[in-house]
Amino acid sequence: VERLRQFLASPVRQAPTHNINNYWFEHRLTLAFQLERDGLWIFNDPNLDVRITARDEELARQHWRLPGALVSWCQRLSLAAHRRLAQFDHGVAVQRLRHRIGWGARGEALPDPLQRMRAAWPERTHLMWHASQLVGRFGPARRPWDVLEIGSGSAIFTAVLRTQWGGRYVNIDLPEQIAVGFSMLSEFLPEARVLLPHEVDEWGDEPFDVAFITPEQLSWVEGRKFDVAANMFSFGEMSADAVEEYFGLLRRLLRPDGIFYCANRIAKSNLNDGTIRKFDNYPWQSNDVVLHDRTDLSVIPGGSKDHRERVARLAAKSSSAVKLEREALVHG
Ligand SMILES: C[S@@+](CC[C@H](N)C(=O)[O-])C[C@H]1O[C@@H](n2cnc3c(N)ncnc32)[C@H](O)[C@@H]1O
């Protein structure tokens, strides 16, 4: 609790994030935390359990039929809608979620971490377990792996993957979601040595199990190498620039036989800035080796037909892409 308190008050948590889109910018403004001796309360996180109603979807559709001149008004409207969603579901206040730090009685009742996760988050855990199986099938034979996850959120994937395959993890996420992931891991993997972003620089070369860093600390991972990388339900919510930046990072940091597991929406519209992020348009290269590609996840409990997953061995950044980047730099 004390370490989380220090993190929430640290400059690393408060620093603005260079590569977030409007949606996450606004979301960060609405999120609130209350740290108590035995747990972290998180308020206003619609991702955690607000159901989007058909009426909300219709409102959103109307919203995007409006002409461009009204965009900034729309952005304010969407922030208001976001706040409303965060507080009410069919008129009933639902947003008072609490992530306990330390498992307590539930942990004793269910000693296996996978069982604990299944009990708390059945569908998400199943989806992550499915992903973990694929990673086990295609990942390098040598163990333990070094794993890099971008947008780890509640860190259920970390907990499932580590329970199944062991390994050492670096998770990149926005500070507020790191607080959630850290709390969840303290429930699911209470024995793991988990570092928070304000601790990584001082940690030195001592072993750790999971390190959380923010997008402002990418230099901390440069020079490290990874066997497995993952992005789940997260690139779709980022700007094209952020996705480009992360693909570049993965191409540099994955070992030649390392794999990238990517599960995201086939197309995700971002109501806050009107952009659509398409899986097909991520900066894949023709020389990436695709080991597995499933275009419909509805067969997997917790998945849907709007989601797609791919396991690929990413090639180094193509020389034409590097050339274009250099030209862009030269021409400002
Ligand atoms: C829908 S959540 C998915 C979380 C988790 N992967 C899962 O499947 O449960 C999207 C995640 O992307 C993260 N995210 C958004 N923009 C980001 C950025 N620029 N860099 C890193 N993470 C980002 C959010 O903080 C959030 O944790």
β-partners of residue 150 are: 172, 231
Long-range contacts of 205-209 (CB under 8 A, 24+ apart): 207/168, 208/168, 209/162, 209/168, 209/169
Q: Which tens digits make up the pLDDT trace of 29-71?
A: 777 777 877 677 776 665 544 344 455 455 545 544 444 444 4
Q: Which tens digits make up the pLDDT trace of 116-165?
A: 788 777 888 899 999 999 999 999 999 999 999 999 998 999 999 999 99
- What is residue 279's three-state secondary structure? helix
Provide the phi-psi class of 52: left if phi over 0, else alpha when psi is between -120 and 50, else beta.
beta
Mutate to test the pocket of ligand 1, among 234, 235, 247, 260 (most ligand atoms within 8 A of CB): 234
Q: Is the CB of 78 under 6 A from ligand 1?
A: no
Q: Is the CB of 154 under 6 A from ligand 1?
A: yes
Amino acid in position 120: A
User: Both tokens of residue 248?
Assistant: 């570049």
User: In angstroms, what CA-CA distances link 319 with 140, 225, 260, 324?
Assistant: 26, 21, 21, 9
Q: What is the pTM of this model?
A: 0.83
User: Which spans in 189-301 are helix H?
Assistant: 200-203, 240-253
Name the nearest CA neighbour of 169 among 227, 209, 207: 209
User: Both tokens of residue 314?
Assistant: 């990413």
